[in-house]
Amino acid sequence: MSNILIIKHGSLGDIAQASGVIQDISENHKDYKIHLLTTKPYFELFKKNPFIHNVILDKRLPRYNLIYLYLLMREIKKYKFAKVFDLQNSSRTLFYKNILYPKSNYEVWSSSITTLPSETAKEDFDKISVLERFDHQLMTSSLKTHHTLKPDFSWACSDINDIKKKYELKNYILLFPFCSPHLTIKKWPYYNDLIKLIKKNLGSGYKIITAPGPSEVDDAKKFDAISILDNEKALNIFQLTSLIKDSSFVIANDTGPAHIAAHVGAKGLTLFGKHTTAYKVSIERENFKAIQVNELKNLSAEKVFERLNNLI
């Protein structure tokens, strides 16, 4: 059996987004064994993906670590991959290509560079949405794309009945008021004001909860919402995905949980400032929408509640 390699490092949102393209690659290569190269945070997650046979760990150590680089390249070479689908499309993965397949075109190494449309500049191509770029990448290799534009991250769910029973969760609005410390531009500042509006207008019909990450547990105490934990620890990705999927509504900054919500069919809203657009990151779905403004500080709690009330 021949081997196919998919490369996906990324962030949590990127991983959820890539579910459809990974499924399409797998379904177009039923007689191949599908391997995936990823980083430590997503190594165990991808082991659960039903369209992947084997997961290879990339520790992403500095490129000048020649011993590590040699060992990783040797590990990749031993599979004699018939084709590589680079879904990360980073300078690092281009570096890998230049070592492993320096003269190959899209027939061997599929990436945004090797499949770049003729007479199109890379900076212009990068302006279209992430999923459209993936779709073009696969179609250039003559693959049928049924799922790339409609990712389904539901494969990452797990049983959380014990957690839901402990917190008596039935109908609940799930908030994600967090963001990475170096990306505060993504942070909407009025979640507590929104919580007051929800409680005033929707009464006891919904519990208001949040699910902080490992570094956000203390920060979650600033919000008048129930923090959902598992034995006083942050939920793992599988538990988090299930909590999002089973929610009544999600409101989130532009972070990983928002992308999970979009790609498990959850109802919800994500709040965008000027850092990027909802179109470019392919986050709007049938049930999941975005509010886009120039300055998040100018987006009122009343406006967000109005959208929530109309959609829930």
pLDDT (0 to 100) of residue 124? 86
Q: Express each pLDDT in 78-113 by its tens digit.
A: 999 999 999 999 999 999 999 999 999 999 999 999
Same CATH topology for 2-152 and 156-311: the answer is: yes
Q: What is the pLDDT of residue 181?
A: 75
| CB neighbourhood size of 176 (10 A) | 27
Looking at residue 122, its pLDDT comes to 85
Q: What pLDDT, on a 0 to 100 scale, did the predictor assign at position 42?
A: 96
CA distances from 26 to 99, 172, 178, 271 (A): 25, 36, 34, 33
Closest by CA to 25, choosing from 171, 208, 147, is 147
The predicted pLDDT at position 183 comes to 73
Residue 259 near residue 279 (C-beta atoms within 8 A)? no
CATH C-level class of 2-152: alpha beta
Task: Tell me the C-alpha distance between 25 and 33, whole Å.
Answer: 11
> Which residues make Cβ contacts (< 8 Å) with residue 156, sequence separation at least 6?
16, 45, 48, 49, 237, 238, 241, 260
- Identify the segments of the chain with pLDDT beneath 50: none
CA 5 to chain centre: 20
- The confidence score (pLDDT) of residue 161 equals 96
The pLDDT value given to residue 123: 84
Q: Give pLDDT, residue 182.
A: 75
Query: What is the identity of the amino acid at 207?
Result: K
Fold classification of 156-311 (topology level): Rossmann fold (3.40.50)
Cα angle: 289, vertex 167, 304; to 5 degrees: 25
Question: Residue 118's pLDDT is what?
Answer: 83
β-sheet with 172-176: strand ranges across:
226-227, 207-210, 172-176, 249-253, 268-272, 288-292
> What is the model's pLDDT at position 144?
96
DSSP H or E run through 57:
strand 54-57
Q: 215-247 burial, b for 16+ CB within 10 Å, e for fewer? A: ebeeebeebebbbbbeeeebbebbbbbbbbbbb
**Domain chopping of the chain, boundaries:** 2-152, 156-311
Residue (of 19, 9, 18) closest to 58 by Cα position: 9
